[in-house]
Structure 1
Amino acid sequence: MQKIQTDILWLFGAKGTLLLANFVVISITLDLLSTKIYGVWITLYTTISWLSFFDLGLGNGMRNLFAVNRAIGNQEKNKQLVSTSYIIVLGIALILLIVGLPFVYYADIARFFNISDIAIPDLRCVLSLLVVVTSLQLITKLINSIFLADQKPALSSLIDCSGVVCSLLLLFILKDRLVGSLFNLSLIITLPTFIISFIVTLFAFNKNYRKLKPSLKCFNLKISNKLINLGLRFFLIQLSALIILQGSNIIILKFIGAEEVSVFSLVYKYFNVIVTIFTLVLTPYWSFFTDSYAKNNYNQLKQGFKQLLISWLAISMVGVVMWIALPFSFKIWLNQELDIPAYLPVSLLLFSIFSNLGSVFIYFLNGTSSYLNFQLAIVLAFAALLYPLSAYLLPTYGVLGVVFTMFFANSYGVLFAPYLSYKVLKRMKSN
């Protein structure tokens, strides 16, 4: 438990820096782009970032299997696991490049996103860059899964933190040359994190993780089947969650307009701070749950739950303070006036608190690989209903209709996951 507390402190340092840097990057980006183009940019960036989930969940699958092997001291199995994971993900990245780049070149992007009336130079170049960088990051970001499985979450966070800080420094240095240039801006925002992740991967496999260095001869077909079976379930769950949480930008852009996307996105990012903070607390617990479950340590798991629920309550109170301070915070952050409907901040605050509570139980179930098939069925059903339900509610409730749909689609964590977690704990106690 003391190690978890130390990890959380390191995570707060790294993620706190990342969070502040991201907020400054957003503020600078809004200065460089018009509100409409910013709305388009954030939607494009969010949409292409979905490719990062096309590792078929192998990162999370490897994380769980690695943690179990680590708990029982099987280093040779982890060597085969790492090699198998990297070889499969390399193949996936190549397929995404082969399919994604021609699609970007030939598809009617402007019509798809309903942005034909907004002039954006080099739109296809921007999308091509995002496809290339995101596809290659599938490979370099596997090192994060190893750090997390090895219960070193701070190292994983430092990669993203360093990348965003580098982007921020470059934005400050080159700000005058970036006005209105979406392509140059996308270069500065995307490349640093990828380059740092690549360098860390090379360094890690030539130093501390030399014995785990990927090798073709260590590819194991039996492990690949087990990895893909577990990973695919994580992939579909994550993809559904991604559609639920980030598909709202596309729906608003398509049915209402780019300016509304900007307002929604900024308020969402503001309250997503408490989700980010709570994720810092949660992050070490995934592998902690895996390790404790593998060792059948019921009391340790129960203690972990108590700590997380107390943390959830405290962070929810922080969210309430943020809601009260929102007008002042936005004035300092963006240095411009935005027309924000009164219902939007309170509804997104409640959504963030709601999501955090569900995440406690979802992390436990994912960490122990329990009831993944049931979770998959529920989340897929909710994700499938997101678009039609939003389209039905939008004419009457506007953006609030999308928020209502997000509540419904994200309700698995609060309605089902607590009961399933209780069943797992009860079974462990009886054993």
Structure 2
Amino acid sequence: MLLSFVYVPILLSYLGVTNYGIWMTIMTIINWINYFDIGIGNGLRNLLTSFIVQNKFKEAKIAVSTAYVALSLISFLFLIIGSVAIILIDTKNVFNSVEPLKLVLFISFFFICINFIFSLSKTELYSLHQAEKTSYILILTQCINLVGIFSLSLFGNGSILAISILTGFSTAISYIIFSMEIWRKKKYLAPNFHLYQAKMLKAICNLGVEFFIIQIAVLVLYSSDNFIIIKLFGPDAVTPYTTTYNAFGIVNGLFGAMIAPLWSRFTVAFVRKDFIWMKKTLNKLNLSLIPIILVLLCGVLFFKPLSVIWLHKTLFFDKGLIPMMGIYYFLMIWGSIYSTFLNGIGKIKLQLYLAVFGALINIPLSIFFGKYCEMRTTGVLLATIICMVISNVPLTIQAINYLRKNSSN
């Protein structure tokens, strides 16, 4: 996060407000491919955790190998489809810009397809209860990005193409390094393409398909805002929105670092029927919301003057955007507590229905509040907040009722 604080203003200075907004939108759209794994990543996470805790290492190796083969085929398919789509689309219309962006999209899409496969290393780390090492991957990536953007800023300005190459390369090399290290230490997690089994893929996807539908719905709910903003209000409006989003996201990132291991820990507790531990853990997480509220409130009060110091320039923020962002991240953190618990124990039906419903109403609500109510980016964010409230309340009730029933038994 500290590296990001240094990186963002240098990147913004290098690209300028307009190109920065375009690049953030490109990254949002390109990263959508990470959600199209048919739920293999999350399905593998629960299954692999169960195998490891039961010392079924042969089954674990088959599961990992099957997942890598399946993701490699999906990635190759997406590379072909994406390349054709990039050739056919009118980038000037899509991104509301005269910048030539096809080569940028090709390079970004190529790297994201490679990273799509090697991102399974994070699933392996979660299953080993080594969630902290997924952050090491991000740190290495950000270090390479920081050195790269600093070097680029010495020799020129404004090249989105150079940034696309730098970003793709840094992520790919980080994933490959950590994947090799995992496979060296845990031989049973190294994929062997000859061990692919269709029945194992079915076992992964039994729960994985539901995760996949949730992922797609979440994609529409959380990742469409930049695209809506750039279409309705132009790329300049994306920059203050994403800057606020990234700054407040620090709180979510810190909480995410704390909660990341718990998905797999909940899976282990579920296998062992340790409902008392689950209940105590959720109570502790709920108490952590109190300091989070105070931190977000401070962020709302002091963000504007701090942003000038941070970015070395003054940005125009739509009225109400900053306090709305504080509410947004509180709801996200609250929701992540109960979704992590329910994901870990595999109770995701209700979450699936709520996610799909939220995805269906989010874009129309965003256009209504943003355009017709003239709330601009604040209205787009308000639409997402409404969808989050609709989801968070039922999921919280479901989790509490589940634990009350099972811990009493």
- Which category of TM-score, normalised to the shorter sequence, fits these structures? over 0.9
Any idea what the Cα deviations from partners look like across 1:210-248, whole Å, max 9, x if unmatched? 123211332222211121222121122122112211211
2:220 aligned partner:
243
- Does the alignment pair 1:57 with 2:74? no
Instruction: Indicate whether 1:186 and 2:168 are aligned.
Output: no
Please report how far the alpha carbon of residue 78 of structure 1 lies from its aligned counterpart in structure 2 after TM superposition: 0.8
What TM-score do you get using the length of structure 2 for normalisation?
Answer: 0.96
- 1:120 is aligned, of 99, 102, 106, to 99
CA distance in 1, matches of 2:172, 2:273: 38
User: Which of 10, 22, 43 is the equivalent residue of 2:25?
Assistant: 43
AA matched with 1:185: I
1:32 aligned partner, one-letter code: Y
| 1:259 counterpart letter in structure 2 | D
Provide the C-alpha distance between the structure 2 equivalents of 1:204 and 1:274, rounded to a whole number of angstroms. 29
Identify the residue that residue 137 of structure 1 maps to in structure 2.
Answer: 115
How far apart, in 2, do the equivalents of 1:55 and 1:283 lie? 20
CA distance in 2, matches of 1:412, 1:223: 35
Aligned residues: 407
Going from structure 1 to structure 2, the CA distance change for 1:34 and 1:26 (only over 3 Å counts) comes to same
**Does the CA-based 8 Å contact 1:393-1:402 persist in structure 2?**
yes
Mapped pair 1:254 → 2:246: no
**What code does the residue aligned with 1:360 have?**
I
1:47-104 alpha-carbon deviations (Å, 9 max, x no partner): 1111111122211111111111222222221111111111101111110111111211
| Superposition RMSD in Å | 1.5
Contact 2:145–2:167 (8 Å) recurs in 1 = yes
What residue ranges of structure 1 are gaps of 5+ in the alignment?
A: 1-18
User: Match for 1:172 among 143, 150, 156?
Assistant: 150
Mapping 1:1-400, distance limit 5 Å: 19-113=1-95, 115=96, 118-121=97-100, 123-205=101-183, 207-370=184-347, 372-394=348-370, 395-396=372-373, 397-400=375-378
Q: Structure 2 unaligned segments of length 5 or more: list them.
A: none
CA–CA distance in 2 between the matches of 1:129 and 1:280? Answer: 30
TM-score by length of 1: 0.91
Structure 1 residue 332 displacement after superposition: 1.6
- Aligned sequence identity (%): 25
- 8 Å CA contact 1:274–1:316 kept in 2: the answer is no
Is the CA contact 2:92–2:98 (under 8 Å) kept in the aligned structure 1? no
Contact residue 178 and residue 184 of structure 1 kept, 8 A: no
| Whole-angstrom CA distance in 1 between matches of 2:380 and 2:188 | 49
Tell me if the contact between 1:359 and 1:413 (Cα under 8 Å) persists in the aligned partners: no
SS in 2 for 1:131: helix
CA change 1:110–1:119 in 2 (3 A) is closer
Q: CA deviation at 1:399?
A: 2.1
Counterpart CA distance in 1 for 2:405 and 2:197 is 33
Whether the aligned pair in 2 keeps the contact of 1:361 and 1:413 (CA below 8 Å) is: no
For 1:29 and 1:378, locate their aligned partners in 2 and report how far apart those are by CA, in whole Å.
37
- Divergent runs of 4+, >4 A: none
Matches of 1:186 and 1:131, distance apart in 2: 9
| CA–CA distance in structure 2, aligned partners of residues 252 and 127 of structure 1 | 19
1: distance between equivalents of 2:223 and 2:104?
20
